[in-house]
Amino acid sequence: MIDLLVKAGQDEAEAAQSVMRRLVIAGVPPPQKGGDARGWRRLLEWRNSLLHGVGPEDARHEYHSFTRELEEIPPAERVQRVLDERLWDRRRAPR
Protein backbone atom coordinates (compact mmCIF):
# COMPACT_ATOMS: atom_id res chain seq x y z
CA MET A 1 0.00 0.00 0.00
CA ILE A 2 2.93 2.29 0.68
CA ASP A 3 4.12 1.71 -2.88
CA LEU A 4 0.71 2.63 -4.27
CA LEU A 5 0.55 5.83 -2.25
CA VAL A 6 4.06 6.76 -3.39
CA LYS A 7 3.01 6.20 -7.00
CA ALA A 8 0.05 8.52 -6.32
CA GLY A 9 2.45 11.31 -5.32
CA GLN A 10 3.05 10.89 -1.58
CA ASP A 11 6.57 10.56 -0.26
CA GLU A 12 7.52 7.37 1.60
CA ALA A 13 7.23 8.95 5.05
CA GLU A 14 3.78 10.35 4.36
CA ALA A 15 2.60 7.05 2.87
CA ALA A 16 3.98 5.03 5.80
CA GLN A 17 2.28 7.33 8.30
CA SER A 18 -1.03 6.95 6.49
CA VAL A 19 -0.77 3.16 6.40
CA MET A 20 0.38 2.97 10.03
CA ARG A 21 -2.64 5.04 11.14
CA ARG A 22 -4.96 2.61 9.36
CA LEU A 23 -3.20 -0.38 10.88
CA VAL A 24 -3.45 1.05 14.40
CA ILE A 25 -7.15 1.79 13.89
CA ALA A 26 -7.59 -1.84 12.78
CA GLY A 27 -5.81 -3.00 15.96
CA VAL A 28 -2.53 -3.99 14.31
CA PRO A 29 0.51 -2.78 16.27
CA PRO A 30 3.63 -1.44 14.54
CA PRO A 31 6.54 -3.82 14.00
CA GLN A 32 8.48 -4.47 17.20
CA LYS A 33 11.94 -4.41 15.66
CA GLY A 34 13.56 -1.27 14.40
CA GLY A 35 15.84 1.46 15.55
CA ASP A 36 13.23 4.19 15.78
CA ALA A 37 10.55 5.01 18.34
CA ARG A 38 8.09 5.99 15.61
CA GLY A 39 5.93 3.10 14.44
CA TRP A 40 5.73 4.33 10.86
CA ARG A 41 9.55 4.35 10.62
CA ARG A 42 9.66 0.76 11.85
CA LEU A 43 6.98 -0.09 9.28
CA LEU A 44 9.21 1.36 6.53
CA GLU A 45 12.18 -0.65 7.80
CA TRP A 46 10.06 -3.82 7.84
CA ARG A 47 8.83 -3.13 4.29
CA ASN A 48 12.35 -2.49 3.04
CA SER A 49 13.50 -5.76 4.58
CA LEU A 50 10.77 -7.65 2.72
CA LEU A 51 11.63 -5.87 -0.53
CA HIS A 52 15.22 -7.05 -0.19
CA GLY A 53 14.32 -10.65 0.68
CA VAL A 54 15.11 -10.40 4.39
CA GLY A 55 12.73 -11.39 7.17
CA PRO A 56 10.60 -14.34 8.12
CA GLU A 57 9.72 -16.72 5.30
CA ASP A 58 5.97 -16.52 5.99
CA ALA A 59 6.06 -12.70 5.93
CA ARG A 60 7.98 -12.66 2.64
CA HIS A 61 5.54 -15.15 1.12
CA GLU A 62 2.54 -13.10 2.28
CA TYR A 63 4.09 -9.87 0.97
CA HIS A 64 4.73 -11.35 -2.48
CA SER A 65 1.30 -12.97 -2.60
CA PHE A 66 -0.35 -9.67 -1.71
CA THR A 67 1.62 -7.71 -4.33
CA ARG A 68 0.57 -10.26 -6.97
CA GLU A 69 -3.08 -9.70 -5.99
CA LEU A 70 -2.62 -5.94 -6.28
CA GLU A 71 -1.36 -6.38 -9.83
CA GLU A 72 -4.69 -7.99 -10.74
CA ILE A 73 -6.60 -4.80 -9.78
CA PRO A 74 -6.84 -2.24 -12.60
CA PRO A 75 -4.17 0.45 -12.06
CA ALA A 76 -6.61 3.34 -11.72
CA GLU A 77 -8.57 1.43 -9.08
CA ARG A 78 -5.59 0.34 -6.94
CA VAL A 79 -4.74 3.73 -5.48
CA GLN A 80 -8.41 4.66 -5.14
CA ARG A 81 -9.03 1.58 -2.99
CA VAL A 82 -6.27 2.67 -0.64
CA LEU A 83 -7.41 6.28 -0.50
CA ASP A 84 -11.09 5.34 -0.03
CA GLU A 85 -10.04 3.01 2.80
CA ARG A 86 -11.51 0.02 0.98
CA LEU A 87 -8.75 -2.12 2.39
CA TRP A 88 -9.22 -5.80 2.98
CA ASP A 89 -8.15 -7.75 6.01
CA ARG A 90 -6.02 -10.64 4.80
CA ARG A 91 -6.01 -12.14 8.30
CA ARG A 92 -9.61 -13.16 7.67
CA ALA A 93 -9.09 -14.39 4.11
CA PRO A 94 -9.73 -18.10 3.56
CA ARG A 95 -6.49 -19.98 2.99
The pTM (predicted TM-score) of the whole model is 0.69
Distance CA 72, CA 29 (A): 28
The answer on pLDDT for 92 being more than 70 is: no
Instruction: Tell me how crowded residue 35 is: count the other CB atoms within 10 A of its CB.
Output: 7
pLDDT in tens, 41-68: 999 998 888 888 887 888 888 888 888 8
Instruction: Tell me how crowded residue 12 is: count the other CB atoms within 10 A of its CB.
Output: 15
